[in-house]
Structure 1
Amino acid sequence: MRPIIQAMAESDVEAIARLRLEAFFEGTGRTLEEDTAGLRGLIAGDGFEAAFVARDRGQPIGSCLLVRDEISSPHDLTPWLAGLVVEETHRGSGVGTALVKTIEAHAASAGIGTLYLYTWQARGFYEALGWTAIEAFEQGGEPMLLMSKSLP
């Protein structure tokens, strides 16, 4: 499947927020309302930050963000590739790769030289896309990895 990648629209916000809550915020107390408000603020922002959605037959199946600040970041770096999420049934089909490449292209077109991200479980995925591990550390008692990628 070749996903269609587009800028996130208001009509995508609730579906993507539900995906994000399940993937990133289960057990944290973050609510659907908080995440939808955050996404709405991002897509209504100044244009530097960006949110992209992958679609299959018109339905949102994944998303990825370009943000200035990462949530609870112990590093004073910017900007960040954040919030990559793909519906479980579409994982392994190139959707995540397409979303990451879209964020990278958007950032490069904005003159950004280096992007950062946090991961632990997806290290191999990002390394295969040219990202480099910078620092392993613990955050909230969990292992975390800071990665970067220089953009053309």
Structure 2
Amino acid sequence: MQPTIEAMTERDVEAVAKLRLAAFFEGTGRTLAEDIVGLRGLIARDGFEAAVVASLGGSPIGSCLFVRNEIDPAHELTPWLAGLVVDEGYRRRGVGTALVRAIEAHAASAGVDRLYLYTWQARPFYEALGWTAAEAFEQEGEPMLLMSRAL
């Protein structure tokens, strides 16, 4: 069974926030409630920013965001693909690729001609999807890579 990729709705928010906390925020002090507020903000925005969810049998297994601002103040660029997360049990099955492509399509439909992201470990994944490395730097003592993709 293939997952469906759709815009995030209120029913997805808590499950996606739990995936995000485990993937990105463990040990940072960020709470589930804080991430839920941030995700709800993306749902309620002006339609430019977006969140998409991969679901299987009605349960979220992954998510990706399209936002105006990302890590501050590292770069004054916009907009960003951010927060790609896929539940560990569903990785290497094309879910991440489908989520990235959905965000790229949303960005292109919004008139965006270049999209940015930050990564370090996922560089080969994004390069395989046509993203290019722009700049390596350190963020809070950790290696980070700025990548971009023309749409």
TM-score, length basis structure 1: 0.97
SS at match of 1:146: strand
TM-score, length basis structure 2: 0.98
Q: Distance in 1 between matches of 2:83 and 2:10?
A: 17
**Aligned residue number for residue 58 of structure 2:** 58
How far did 1:13 drift?
0.3
* Structure 1 unaligned regions, length at least 5: none
**Aligned residue number for residue 88 of structure 1:** 88
Matched, 1:49 2:49: yes
How many positions carry a matched residue from both structures?
A: 151
Give a deviation string over 1:86-138, Cα, whole Å, max 9, x none: 00000000000000000000100111000000000000000000000000001
Q: Distance in 1 between matches of 2:31 and 2:59?
A: 22
Q: Distance in 2 between matches of 1:35 and 1:96?
A: 20
Q: Distance in 1 between matches of 2:51 and 2:147?
A: 20
Q: Distance in 1 between matches of 2:76 and 2:2?
A: 36
Aligned AA for 1:135? Answer: E
Residue correspondence of structure 1 range 70-149 to structure 2 within 5 A: 70-149=70-149
* Structure 2 unaligned regions, length at least 5: none
Aligned AA for 1:71? Answer: I
How far did 1:3 drift?
1.8
SS at match of 1:144: strand
Q: Distance in 2 between matches of 1:150 and 1:121?
A: 21
Q: Distance in 1 between matches of 2:73 and 2:67?
A: 12
**Aligned residue number for residue 19 of structure 2:** 19
Give a deviation string over 1:33-68, Cα, whole Å, max 9, x none: 000000001110111000000011111000000000
Give a deviation string over 1:67-96, Cα, whole Å, max 9, x none: 000033410000000000000000000000
Q: Distance in 1 between matches of 2:2 and 2:71?
A: 31
Matched, 1:40 2:40: yes
Give a deviation string over 1:17-48, Cα, whole Å, max 9, x none: 00000100111100000000000011101110
- Answer whether contact 1:3 1:98 (CA < 8 A) is retained: no
Give the stretch that moved more between structures: 39-48 or 65-74.
Answer: 65-74
- Answer whether contact 1:2 1:94 (CA < 8 A) is retained: no
